[in-house]
Amino acid sequence: MRKQHSLVAVLLSCLASLSYAQESQVRGQLTALNMTQLAAPIAGRVIELKKRAGEEVKAGDLLASFDCRSIKAEENVASARLSAANTKYKVNKRLAKYDNVSSLDVELSRADVVEANAALKLVRVRLDDCNVNAPFDAEVISRDVNLHQHVSVGDPLFGLVSKADMEIEAVIPAKWLSYVKAGTSVTFTSDTTGEQVQGEIARIIDNVDPVSQTLKVIATPTLPDEHAFKPGMSGVVNFANDNLAVAAGAE
């Protein structure tokens, strides 16, 4: 009989532990801090593509290049005009010493130099857009352009996402606000791999949904250098707070 009572006590303890875990947990999802859809900065023909979907890139790596021969020709024209404007300005300054030109002519020629210099800088900005580089370390999740394809400004080129820096997003009952605060410890368990990662609440979004009486919290996980976690993974978020379990069980 005593053995039966002991067995019942153990089962009740296990059930209580399971109830505690379930009462202080919610669903959550990993989101990437750095993710972007790179678009074509200029219109033109793609003459070089360096990466494919699934490949890793480092910040600054070349992803695509455009045929920019016409822009290069514009740079040569703008450079020649700047040189001519500089020569005219220098001549007018010398002539002004002998009153052979008016001060207005000198100022106008100086303005021509400023204008020509600005035009050259503008062309060089467009030349910089001939190459598309990775803005951060990431994985290519999509390549939306083909070699020799002609694209317009704003057309999608590459989708990038970084798994180096991620956050855990979860929605909790508003009643938990008395116990869940910035710094509260959490554990995220991935549905996909079963792996766990520790973290803590970084931000609480102060906007309670009037219907569900819930709000979003964001936690920062402590990720190891090598891990299998990926943006978009969903799982269970457990909150380390004894009072929270009591409050959750009373709901």
Question: What pLDDT digit, counting tens, does each position of 97-148 carry?
Answer: 888 889 999 999 999 999 999 999 999 999 999 999 999 999 999 999 999 9
Mean pLDDT of 195-224: 93
pLDDT at residue 9 tops 70: no
Three-state DSSP class for residue 243: helix
Whether 12 shows a pLDDT value over 50: the answer reads no
Q: How many domains does the chain have?
A: 2
pLDDT, position 242: 56
Residue 185 lies in a domain: yes
HSE-up (13 A, CA, CB side) for residue 247: 17
Strands (E), 109-233: 131-133, 138-143, 150-151, 156-161, 166-173, 185-190, 196-204, 214-221
In whole angstroms, what is the distance from residue 243 CA to residue 236 CA? 19
Do 154 and 70 reside in the same domain of the chain? Answer: yes
Residue 182 has which token pair? 């910035």
Please check whether residues 76 and 169 belong to one and the same domain: no
Same domain, 157 and 170: no
Burial of 223 (0-12, 13-18, 19+ CB in 10 A): middle
- Same-domain check for residues 85 and 145: yes
Residues 89 and 172 in one domain: no
At which of 161, 192, 211 does a domain end?
Answer: 161
Three-state DSSP class for residue 166: strand
Do 152 and 196 share a domain, yes or no?
no
Check whether 175 has a pLDDT greater than 50: yes
Per-residue pLDDT at 25 exceeds 50: yes
Its domain, for residue 172, covers: 165-249
* Residue 2 pLDDT > 90: no
- Name the band, by pLDDT with cuts 50, 70 and 90, for residue 23: low
Report pTM: 0.74
Q: Is the pLDDT of residue 8 over 90?
A: no
The reply to whether 154 and 64 lie within a common domain is yes
Asked whether residue 1 is domain-assigned, the answer is: no
Residue 136, in any domain of the structure: yes
